Structure 1
Amino acid sequence: MSALLEVSGVSVTFDGFRAINNLSIAIGEPELRAVIGPNGAGKTTFMDIVTGKTRPDEGRVLWGEASLSLLGMSESAIARAGIGRKFQKPTVFEDQTVRENLAMALRNKRGPFDVLFYKTNRQARARIAELADEIGLSDALPRRAGDLSHGQKQWLEIGMLLAQDPRLLLVDEPAAGMTPAEREHTTELLTRAAKTRAVVVIEHDMEFIRRLNCKVTVLHEGSVLAEGSLDHVTQNQQVIDVYLGR
């Protein structure tokens, strides 16, 4: 499996604090990867660098078969290149229906008039139905997004990202605030999505990570401390000392 995303020797300093320190991570396609670590380990900054929100002081971030450098690209260009990101707090259009949210997210022309006068054609309607089925919201299509539960809003936002057909999906703490049943559905949703693309999940919940049953990267002080299966990394004495022992 060749790397879809290759982060190599990346460092970034904020006001004298080294948030990322010579970080190297490679993500394949398809792959499901969990990234864990204590607060301040650099997990969010890693995502910020990949999505163009933060520029590193040094290192390389290469994307796709052509090893395209992401470092000179804008956030919107990186999104168009196939990298989708879901933040911890769901951001959906609360006053629009689930169907309308998914319709707006589909990859279409994005001019102001195109969005204003957008009418869903048969192909788009079929894709919306498919996405709703995938995220488990088929019955909720006519519902206003603001009336959904916290977990359902999270799924809708994942569906909106999937509508753009990203090759890499970055997901920040998806299990936070969910009921056990919602967490189970979220596990299924992410593992299914990772069969056809790369999915990177940042999470603190060890039980949730165990259910994902994937390779785990442990970050500490901005670099990789350990990598492997959850059982492998949780038996690592350094990981126990800096993270699990807290």
Structure 2
Amino acid sequence: MSTLLEVSGVSVSFDGFKAINNLSFQIAEAELRAVIGPNGAGKTTFMDIVTGKTKPDEGRVIWGEKSLSLLDMDEAQIARQGIGRKFQKPTVFEDQSVRDNLMMALKKDRWVIAVLLFRASDADTARVEELAAEVGLADQLDRIAGELSHGQKQWLEIGMLLAQEPRLLLVDEPAAGMTPEEREHTTDLLVEAAKTRAVVVVEHDMEFVRRLNCKVTVLHEGAVLAEGGLDHVTSDPEVIDVYLGR
């Protein structure tokens, strides 16, 4: 499987504090990866660098088969390359229906005139229904998003990101605040999504990570401390010392 994203020798400091320290990371085109580590390990900064929110002091961030440098692009250009990010707190249009949220998220021409003249085609309607089924909201399409449970809002936001047809999905702590049933459904959703795209999940919930059943990258002090299956990394003495032992 070819590499989709390659982060190589990346470092970034904030006021003298090295948030990312010579970090190297690779993910393949259709791969699910969990990223774990203690608070301050650099997990959020890593995602900020990949999405263009933060520019590193040194290193390379290479994207896709054409080996494009993401460091030469702004946040909007990176998003157009097919990199989607889901933050911890769901951001949906609370006063719009689930259907309208998904319709607005479809990958379309975003020029003002095109948006004003937009009329949903049969294909658009079918795609929205397909997305709703994919994230488990097929029976909620006409419900106002603000009325959904926390877990359902998270699924809606994942659906909105999938509507953009991303090649890489970065998901921040999706299990936080969910019921056990919601967590289980979220696991299934992310595993399914990773069959056709790369998915990176930053998570603290070890049971959730175990259910993802994927390769795990452990970050500590802005660098990779360990990498491999969950049993492999959780038996690593250094990982136990800096993260699991606390």
TM-score, length of structure 1 as denominator length: 0.99
SS of equivalent to 2:40: coil
Once the two structures are superposed, the pairs formed by residues 63-212 of structure 1 within 5 Å of their partners are: 63-212=63-212
> Residues 44-87 of structure 1: CA distance to partner in whole angstroms, max 9, x if unpaired?
00000000000000000000001100001010000000100000
Report the Cα distance in structure 1 between the residues aligned to 2:117 and 2:37, rounded to whole angstroms: 45
Contact kept in structure 2, 1:104 and 1:115, CA below 8 Å: no
Q: Counterparts of 1:179 and 1:54 in 2: how far apart (Å)?
A: 33
The offset of 1:113, in angstroms, is: 3.1
**SS class of match (2:239):** helix
RMSD: 0.6
SS in 1 for 2:46: helix
Unaligned runs of 5+ in 1: none
Q: Which runs of 5+ in 2 are unaligned?
A: none
Q: Which amino acid aligns with 2:53?
A: K
Aligned partners of 2:61 and 2:87: how far apart in 1? 21
Q: CA deviation at 1:29?
A: 1.1
Look up the SS of the partner of 2:8 in the other structure: strand
Aligned-partner residue type, residue 160 of structure 2: M
Q: Following the alignment from structure 1 to structure 2, what is the Cα–Cα distance between the partners of residues 126 and 102?
A: 11
Instruction: Report the alpha carbon displacement of residue 243 of structure 1 after superposing the two structures with TM.
Output: 0.2
Q: Deviations over 1:211-244 (max 9, x none)?
A: 0000000000000000000000000000000000
* In structure 2, C-alpha distance between the alignment counterparts of 1:186 and 1:173, rounded to whole Å: 11
Q: What is the Cα deviation at residue 114 of structure 1?
A: 2.5
Q: Quick one: distance in 1 between partners of 2:10 and 2:234?
A: 25
Residue 31 of structure 1 contacts residue 198 of structure 1 at CA under 8 Å; is this kept in 2? yes
TM-score by length of 2: 0.99
The CA distance in 1 between the partners of 2:200 and 2:22, in whole Å, is 20
2:12 corresponds in structure 1 to 12
Equivalent position SS for 2:59 = strand
Identical-residue share of aligned pairs (%): 77
Output the CA distance in 2 between the equivalents of 1:58 and 1:100: 42
**Distance between the aligned counterparts of 2:157 and 2:131, measured in 1?**
11
Q: Deviations over 1:172-212 (max 9, x none)?
A: 00000000000000000000000000000000000000000
Query: 1:113, 1:66 → 2: CA distance?
Result: 32
Q: Secondary structure at the match of 1:142?
A: coil
**What is the deviation of 1:118?**
2.3
Q: Classify the secondary structure of the residue corresponding to 1:152.
A: helix
Q: Number of paired residues?
A: 246
Shift in Å, 1:121: 0.5
> 1:41 aligned to 2:41?
yes
Amino acid at match of 2:15: D
Shift in Å, 1:111: 1.7
